Amino acid sequence: MKTSSDGGIYINADYLEQVVCSVIDEFCSAGGHPPIDHVAMTTFWHNVVGVRDGQAITPLISWADTRPDSILSELGERFDQQSLHQRTGCVLHASYLPAKICWFEQKDAKQFKQVERWMSISEYLFLKWFGTPTCSISMASGSGLFNQHVCDWDDETLDALPITRSQLTELCDIDEPVHGLMDSYASRWPILAEASWYPAIGDGASNNIGSGCYDDNRIALMVGTSGAMRVMRKVETFTIPNGLWCYRLDRRRTLFGGALSNGGNIYNWLSHVLSLSNKENIEEALSTMSPDNHGITVLPFWAGERSPGWHSNATASITGMTLHTTPLDIMQASLESTAFCFANIYNRLCSSRHVSGEIVASGAGLLQSPTWLQMLADILEQPITASSIAEASSRGAALVALEASGILEDISLTSVPRDKTYKPDLSKRARYRKALKRHKDFYDMMMDS
């Protein structure tokens, strides 16, 4: 992704398609594969690109692009925001498509009028490979344009936006595979030419499945680049908790939770900027440090805020530093503050959905740091079990395709590989609760200013 000083995070959709194709090329050229009958896919939620005559004519902008925040005040006048949240499971925020699409119109009205279709990267890939885009209920559910209760595009939302239903892809579910690669791709990937290609599902939903969190007996805690905490349920009627979101895996399974724009990206950014280059040394040093012994309070909004406050224009803030402050103090305080944000999401999930299941952690951003895992267990005051799956989202996509194809009777019958369980150290409870209160007070002061 490219970045810009005004909050842009974007990529050329055709370049990204070439990158994906190069990975498939490498796989196919390796040889020695058994016959491949099914192809599964998961892609990141909340992205959009404008397309005309089958070609991308705008950049593809990421969920993390905060430039659409500039349109939110005007956009808010068009909606009853509580009703919008209950229908779509999304709030007015720079991450979602209502803001992104209106921002595109404001930025370049001439180009905006040229766009025939708006789609996610997964739809664009299918457009290139099969000649027609494919959009799953799962991918649509994270757009802010989708009605979670009727499983269709939300007409009331579309009526308030400068686009029509005809500019969006017709929806399908995960059990509706596509066949018939375009000739150029069929000859490029002959071992995949006859396969059933399943529509992409959102990375959060597939991560829940891959880590074994397919019902409300388990809560998924994921930290990759960003972070999220989610619970999946089979419910026909529901109310969406305040401050949280609601998306879907399919027509039967609904996902509730909250997301942080900052996760492993904080760890990596701080490591680079503070010249803490050796992760083993960082881990060893952090593991010996007492909780909240630095006096620093951090709002970890390096890429804006999503759940639960949804301030997309928020920026990172650090207070309490002195000449005695060290780079490791800043690192520890930032990881603790991210855990405080997860605690807020966890408490909302538990209070509004009556969820109290096992917490399962996944994602390279978190699993690389046992110290951070222990810190989260201490702050949440709950045991956290690490997943032993290196790529839970990819595993989840595969399991969903196996179930959709009928090869697997039910995802819930699969075993769930586990690693170490981190039990909370309750001797740290008082210090962390005091720090959490200080974090909340700083948050309230900054967001009200």
Residues 101-124, mean pLDDT to the nearest whole number? 97
Topology of the domain comprising 208-393+401-449: Nucleotidyltransferase; domain 5 (3.30.420)
What is the rounded CA–CA span in Å between residue 214 and residue 437? 33
Structure tokens at 264: 């492993």
Nearest in space to 98 (alpha carbons), one of 148, 146, 64, 45 = 146
**Per-residue pLDDT tens digits for 193-219:** 999 999 999 999 999 999 999 988 899
CA dist list (Å): 96 to 28, 235, 240, 390, 415 = 35, 24, 17, 28, 35
**Per-residue pLDDT tens digits for 293-346:** 999 999 999 888 999 999 988 889 999 999 999 999 999 999 999 999 999 999
Check residue 262 and give its pLDDT.
Answer: 86
Nearest in space to 90 (alpha carbons), one of 42, 7, 148, 137 = 148
Q: Which residues of 246-278 are buried (b: 16+ CB within 10 A; e: fewer)?
A: bbbbbeebbbbbbbbbbbbbbbeebbeebebee
Check residue 91 and give its pLDDT.
Answer: 96
What is the rounded CA–CA span in Å between residue 126 and residue 141? 18
CA dist list (Å): 338 to 199, 263, 372, 413 = 33, 7, 10, 34
- Do 2-199 and 208-393+401-449 share a fold? yes
Residues 435-449, mean pLDDT to the nearest whole number? 91
Residues 367-384, mean pLDDT to the nearest whole number? 95
**Collapsing DSSP states into helix, strand and coil, what is residue 392?**
helix
Residue 448's pLDDT band, with cuts at 50, 70 and 90, is confident
Residue with tokens 């960082």: 282
Q: Show me where the domains of the chain are located.
A: 2-199, 208-393+401-449
CATH architecture of the region 2-199: 2-Layer Sandwich (3.30)
Check residue 449 and give its pLDDT.
Answer: 66
**Per-residue pLDDT tens digits for 53-64:** 999 999 999 998
Q: How many alpha carbons fall within 13 Å on the CB side of residue 122?
A: 27
Q: Are 168 and 154 in contact (CB under 8 A)?
A: no
**Per-residue pLDDT tens digits for 127-180:** 999 999 999 999 999 999 999 999 999 999 999 999 999 999 999 999 999 999
Nearest in space to 28 (alpha carbons), one of 196, 189, 193 = 189
What is the rounded CA–CA span in Å between residue 227 and residue 338? 9
What is the rounded CA–CA span in Å between residue 326 and residue 227? 26
CA dist list (Å): 22 to 64, 121, 304 = 25, 16, 32
